[in-house]
Amino acid sequence: MRIAFYSTKPYDRIWFAPLAADYGFEISFIELPCKKETLGLAQGYDAICIFVNDYMDKEMIDCLHTMGVKAILLRSAGFNHVDVRAAQGKLEILRVPSYSPEAVAEFAVTLLLAVNRHIHKAYARTRDFNMSLNGLMGMDLNQKVAGVVGTGKIGQAMIRILQGFGMQILAYDPFPIEGLKVEYVPLEELFRRSDVISLHCPLTAETKNLINRESIAMMKEGVYLINTSRGGLIDSDALIEGLLQKKFGGVGLDVYDEEEGIFYEDCSEDIIEDENLARLMTFPNVIITSHMGFFTMEAMQAIANKTLENAYALERGLPLVNRVQAVVPV
């Protein structure tokens, strides 16, 4: 099998190249993102492999199908960046449903602790030998209420960690997990009662801008909001308004709704034209990281393993257990 591997970073080669050799696959590592303009680089390949900030619309899928490409290998769990319906009957879409839930959950807690205890500000101060504690006061997490939106594998890992802090857990999920030791409540109640809200749900038409002006208005004053899932869950304009109104004690974002061309890239010499992202960076109680919640050795190894297992199953005609299919309305 020949695979065109888009949006390649140095760490991708470390994990994928040796494993591909074991399978006998030929991978062409392409540093460019997958766009209409770069799709021609997939000519002559059996499959392409894309990441979260690549995208695949109907026109691109039709083009791949014409070129004889058989599959889109997603090295991610989410698939909101692919027009799944357009691929039906033309290309297989194979994802990595789980790699390391703990990696993402641990990072979400890291963001919470950092923004709550002002680690980012304290680090910058002490580098200049400013040891003042003014403005660095946080709050105990013990006995506070945490609202976890989405109780899949990552959400469950988050719940276990927060329970270790002695927090009361509220949860929302349209498909509750039986036996999970949390209090499932309607979303509006979770917004009203939570001291900390952490998002662990996929980006769908139903969850787009889940955090908006109306939901922010329901929240407690001084609430902490953490998002390590998908940027589109939050309306950035509404978030900025809430920050200006001092609604939030702190916000930790590992994702952003307009990441393409910025996240995973070195833009330190560029003028950032995204006004919302630039504005968010100015708030002292906001920490933004570069979609790195997944980025552990264990997770990268699991992503490489599962991605190439999917390719192997496709090549050998085995059951495609990680196939993504469009949901047909009843």
Active-site annotation holder among 127, 259, 279, 298? 259
Establish whether 291 is a catalytic residue. yes
Tokens of 315: 């090549």
Averaged pLDDT of the chain: 96
| Residues in Cβ contact with 289 at an 8 Å cutoff, skipping those fewer than 6 apart | 107, 111, 252, 253, 254
Q: How confident is the model at residue 327 (pLDDT cuts 50, 70, 90)?
A: low
Run of H or E including 11: helix 10-23
Token pair, residue 259, equals 């990441």
CA distances for 323 relative to 22, 60, 67, 101, angstroms: 23, 19, 21, 20
Strands (E), 185-298: 196-199, 223-227, 248-253, 286-288
Which listed CATH number (3.20.20.70, 3.40.50.1820, 3.40.50.720, 3.40.50.2300) goes with 101-288?
3.40.50.720
Phi, psi of 250 (to 5 degrees): -170, 155
pLDDT tens digits along 108-155: 999 999 999 999 999 999 999 999 999 999 999 999 999 999 999 999
Strand segments, DSSP code E, in 30-139 are 47-50, 71-74, 92-94
pLDDT tens digits, 261-287: 899 999 999 999 999 999 999 999 999
178 has catalytic annotation: no
Q: Which of 95, 230, 265, 279 is catalytic?
A: 230
pLDDT band of residue 330 (cuts 50, 70, 90) is very low
pLDDT tens-place string over residues 184-213: 999 999 999 999 999 999 999 999 999 999
149-169: average pLDDT? 98
Average pLDDT (220-248) is 98
* pLDDT 10s digits, 30-61: 999 999 999 999 999 999 999 999 999 999 99
Domain ranges of the chain: 2-99+296-316, 101-288
Q: What angle (nearest 5°) sits at the alpha carbon of residue 216, between those of residues 167 and 55?
A: 95
Kindly indicate the confidence band of residue 102, based on its pLDDT and cuts at 50, 70 and 90.
very high
Is residue 328 pLDDT above 60, yes or no? no
183: three-class secondary structure by DSSP: strand
* 2-99+296-316 shares its CATH topology with 101-288: yes
pLDDT-derived band at 260 (thresholds 50, 70, 90) equals confident
Q: Which of 81, 118, 200, 291 is catalytic?
A: 291
Q: Which long-range contacts (CB under 8 A, 24 or more apart) does 15-20 make?
A: 15/300, 15/301, 15/303, 15/304, 16/304, 16/307, 16/308, 19/304, 19/305, 19/308, 20/308
For 2-99+296-316, CATH number out of 1.10.10.60, 3.40.50.1370, 3.40.50.720, 3.30.830.10 equals 3.40.50.720
| The pair of three-digit structure tokens given for residue 183, joined into one six-digit string | 């209090």
* Helical H segments across 24-83, by residue range: 58-67
